[in-house]
């Protein structure tokens, strides 16, 4: 009889220990993100109906700009799987130093608008294999555009592009996709030719 009381007491103690040991409040786990399966880079030439031409990813859609302020030579390179777009805008300079300064100032202002959320904005001037010059701005922080650039021949053509993601997640979760699009943007920069 004492033995069964002992066993009952031990059993009750074990149950109470289990109940009180597991009584910590529930803490929800942070939301996880799917692993990105990024395809190997493959490129094709953009249509020859624009005043410029470049190589862009075969995994993206080349389409006319869909914004309300679009211009006839503006395009989007849309990545449906990544919900990302490289927005490309183009302006004719027409040998006007005043217009060129205005376009460069506008590009600077558009990049500077991200300073509110950016930890850093690193600007670099690069020379392409085709002898062109690009000014690249790489932005760190929780910004919607992590990579932007401008290119001009200073007399006829001015092109600006920016990489945007249409998702609300932390950039560290997007880092592989950001690097992937930076590589595609560099392909665009390195293969850009003017048609005027």
72: helix, strand or coil:
coil
Say how many Å lie between the first and final Cα of the chain, rounded.
Answer: 103
For 73-130, write each residue's pLDDT tens digit.
999 999 999 999 999 999 999 999 999 999 999 999 988 887 778 888 899 999 999 9
Say what the alpha-carbon torsion angle 179, 77, 85, 35 is, to the nearest 10 degrees. Answer: -50
The answer to whether residue 148 sits within a structural domain is: yes
Tell me if 29 is assigned to some domain: no
What are 63's two structure tokens? 């389409």
Range of the domain at 185: 43-194
Domains contained in the chain, number = 1
Q: Which residues pair with 16 in a beta bridge?
A: none
> 28 lies in a domain?
no
What is the Cα–Cα distance from 132 to 160, expressed in whole angstroms?
14
Model's pTM, two decimal places? 0.79
- Domain of 71, CATH number, reads 3.40.1000.10
**Could you tell me if residue 14 is inside a domain?**
no
Is 131 inside any structural domain?
Answer: yes
Query: Per residue in 130-177, pLDDT tens?
Result: 999 999 999 988 888 899 999 999 999 999 999 999 876 566 678 899
């Amino acid at each position: 009889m004492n033995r069964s009381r002992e066993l009952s007491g031990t059993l009750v103690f074990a149950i109470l220990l289990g109940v009180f040991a597991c009584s910590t409040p529930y803490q929800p786990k942070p939301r996880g993100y799917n692993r990105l399966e990024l395809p190997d880079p493959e490129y094709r030439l953009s249509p020859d109906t624009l005043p410029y031409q470049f190589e862009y990813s075969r995994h993206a859609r080349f389409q006319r700009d869909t914004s309300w302020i679009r211009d006839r030579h503006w395009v989007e390179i849309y990545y449906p799987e990544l919900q990302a777009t490289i927005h490309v805008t183009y302006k004719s300079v027409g040998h006007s130093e005043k217009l060129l300064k205005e376009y460069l100032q506008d590009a600077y202002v558009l990049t500077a608008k991200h300073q509110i959320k950016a930890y850093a904005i690193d600007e670099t001037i690069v020379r392409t294999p085709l002898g062109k010059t690009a000014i690249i701005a790489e932005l760190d922080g929780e910004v919607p555009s992590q990579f932007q650039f401008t290119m001009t021949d200073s007399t006829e053509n001015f092109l600006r592009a920016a990489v945007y993601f249409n998702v609300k997640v932390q950039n560290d979760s997007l880092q592989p996709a950001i690097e992937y699009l930076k590589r595609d943007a560099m392909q665009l920069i390195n293969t850009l030719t003017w048609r005027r």
